[in-house]
Structure 1
């Protein structure tokens, strides 16, 4: 028998409901009348709710992702045939925001590094030693011995 998954699930739910009803009916023999009447009323209400299908207003439907099967694979899509350019624009907005944010972070980092280099250059140029002293091999040896003597 070829059944859809929703029909199979509904049949399984009905079988389960029948088993639960039978089990509940077994224990009602010794209960007082008022409790059995309340249980009967609750069952009637539950059945009424089960029989009434949920009504979805047409104007309030929301496009939700659906599983689309194609060949041997399944993909997550929005359903429908027509491509909505608003949906494409909205889905591209977070990616665009991410790229713009990364560009701004890169610019800020470049400015920060340039500022640090400028501070080092300013310190070197305003120091008492000439810049050529820093490249002298003897100056490096002087710094090593000065650190050890402290």
Structure 2
């Protein structure tokens, strides 16, 4: 496997490429239009290839910097990743705490909501059953009108 070139080699190659480009650009004015266009296209291809190589080199450098050797084996991981499974388990547990809190909050809200609705229904049923009026009176539209007028009459006194 080929090793990645060092930073100094990369800088030297870039410096030489710039010098060659400067020399070629000096004589460009004397060339015909077709030749200059072909040169321009070749330059663009070369630049795009160089950018692709730099991206690949950068990705390899990052992968190599996140690899560590432990006990004769190479372990891949991010910075500060010691590779022990206990830390990963603890991280997973800590990241699950907000999910558990959300689920617990939803369960508590649901129970409280059910209790509130049950309490309101119980109050209405108790009022209906202990009242002197039969439950059918509450369904009568005239009785509802009577309640409205009696409520306004008691507010005026």
Please confirm whether the aligned pair reaches a TM-score higher than 0.5, indicating the same fold: no
Point out the structure with the larger helix share: 2
* Structure number with bigger Rg: 2
The normalised TM-score by structure 2 is 0.41
The normalised TM-score by structure 1 is 0.42
